[in-house]
A and B are shown apart, each in its own frame.
Chain A
Amino acid sequence: MVKLYNKSLLSQSDSLSDPKNQLNLLDKVNLIPFQENLKKSNLFPLKPINIDVFQVNIGKMCNQVCKHCHVDAGPDRKEIMTRDTMHLCLDAIDKTSCSTVDITGGAPEMNPDFRWFVKELFKKNKKIIVRCNLTIIVANKKYNDLPIFFKKHNVEVVSSLPYFNSKKTDAQRGNGIFDKSIKALKMLNEVGYGIEGSGLVLNLVYNPTGAFLPPNQSVLEADFKIKLMGKFGVQFNNLFAITNIPISRFLQYLLVSDNYKGYMQKLVSSYNPMAASSVMCRNTISISWDGYIYDCDFNQMLDLKVSAKEKHLSKYNFEELLNRNIIVNQHCYGCTAGSGSSCGGSVT
């Protein structure tokens, strides 16, 4: 096990805080280019099928500093979306035939305009997903009513919990995070989240706590349900098993732990054409805190803006986005390994 700082790459002045350095590193590994595998699967150039999910990253500020965070989020990150940019998002959503708006961060709830944004989306009758890190609910009194706010606006809550014990959870997300997460989960359960028949959806996200692929999603979900109910009386709906993408802080972990080469080889050797045809970037677009458009949250963090003339919400062009070529690179192997991986878990 390696010692990593509980700080963002930026605050450590780590060279990986510059996306260009991450891309250079990914290019240097002597492995089959991702494009080659896509070609063999008759999927290159990778094209969108539609834009059903409009994902908005409303800021990098977070109360946690998880060791695998692809956003490099943390308390020191000040980049957050303004209300003006949220207005641009709302305008773009009106021009998009999407059913779902997926709000992520950082801890999105830390954005002072978060609640305003959710209320506006609620008026539009869109399915709203909030990627809540759980501990924000108990971080400060002003966030304690989030479960009620979520319920009032019919928000689907998606929360990371890498394991049903503190050892693994805290190893990835920081000391004391597991206990706080359980407390927050109970608060969500109390208002009906995760309870059968309530209609309030609480999904959990599992990320491997190291350099290995996630287990079978349904087997793991059954395990989580037994353990969380049995030990803590906590209920939830679905478990999403997500593969760690070799970028940002997880890339730093891979390098420091000498697992980088082995992990990349594992991802490449586990390439699954079925997963490749169902990757999330084919039905999603991702918006950054400053209003730029990306194929996915990972491309966003690597500063790979969409391959379209108009790359900013201020000149949003839905038709052009529907016809774009999706930008792929070596990190994309993370979404096509084994059962595949997306913000909604495995894809096959």
Chain B
Amino acid sequence: MKTYYNPEDLKKFGDISEWQEKLGEKFFDYYGAIFQDGALTKREKTLIALAVSHAVQCPYCIDAYTEESMEQGYDEEQMMEAVHVASALKGGATLVHGVQMMNKYKDLSM
């Protein structure tokens, strides 16, 4: 069955450089640098990445950062809490627009 997402494609991520080498290389250098220990540890960044993976709803990222989070020693509870943070932001971002709706509603009402 054909699907839009194939888990095997994640291993081919690097192939994007074949059609635009310079930009591809810059991106992967940047990506690699981001996940080094810095003001935040690699471990902390992994959990942020796991949450963001859910927020951007990227199945490749979810697979990759679930495994990476396990390899960084996070457990189920911690990982699900991170997903809830993403959910809170996504939900909050939707709901806060309710204020805009309320403003517009009031503007159009007598």
Q: A148 at the A/B interface (Cβ < 8 Å)? A: no
Q: A215 at the A/B interface (Cβ < 8 Å)? A: yes
Closest to B11 in A: A265
Stretch from B53-61, B70-78, B86-94, B99-107 forming part of the interface with A: B70-78
Interface set of A (CB-CB < 8 Å, partner B):
163, 165, 168, 208, 210, 212-216, 219-220, 223
A210 near B43 with CB under 8 A, answer no
A168 near B75 with CB under 8 A, answer yes
Report chain B residues within 8 Å CB of A216.
43, 72-73
Q: How far is the CA of A163 from the CA of B75 in the complex (A)?
A: 10
Closest approach, in angstroms, between the C-beta of B13 and any C-beta of chain A? Answer: 13
Closest to A210 in B: B70
Closest to A241 in B: B73
Majority secondary structure, B binding face = helix
22 A–B contacts, CB within 8 A, in A order: A163-B75, A165-B75, A168-B75, A208-B70, A208-B71, A210-B70, A212-B67, A212-B70, A212-B71, A213-B71, A214-B71, A215-B43, A215-B71, A215-B72, A215-B73, A216-B72, A216-B73, A219-B43, A219-B72, A219-B73, A220-B73, A223-B73
Q: How far is the CA of A45 from the CA of B47 in the complex (A)?
A: 41
Interface set of B (CB-CB < 8 Å, partner A):
43, 67, 70-73, 75
Q: How far is the CA of A79 from the CA of B75 in the complex (A)?
A: 37
Report chain B residues within 8 Å CB of A208.
70-71
Closest approach, in angstroms, between the C-beta of A83 and any C-beta of chain B? Answer: 43
Q: How far is the CA of A216 from the CA of B71 in the complex (A)?
A: 8
Closest to A212 in B: B70
Report chain B residues within 8 Å CB of A163.
75
Q: How far is the CA of A165 from the CA of B73 in the complex (A)?
A: 13
Q: How far is the CA of A216 from the CA of B42 in the complex (A)?
A: 11
Q: How far is the CA of A96 from the CA of B8 in the complex (A)?
A: 50
Q: How far is the CA of A47 from the CA of B48 in the complex (A)?
A: 43
Q: How far is the CA of A316 from the CA of B43 in the complex (A)?
A: 47
Closest approach, in angstroms, between the C-beta of B79 and any C-beta of chain A? Answer: 13
Closest approach, in angstroms, between the C-beta of A163 and any C-beta of chain B? Answer: 7
10 closest residue pairs by CB, A with B: A215-B73, A212-B70, A213-B71, A220-B73, A212-B71, A215-B72, A212-B67, A215-B71, A219-B73, A219-B43
Closest to B43 in A: A219
Report chain A residues within 8 Å CB of B73.
215-216, 219-220, 223
Closest approach, in angstroms, between the C-beta of B67 and any C-beta of chain A? Answer: 6
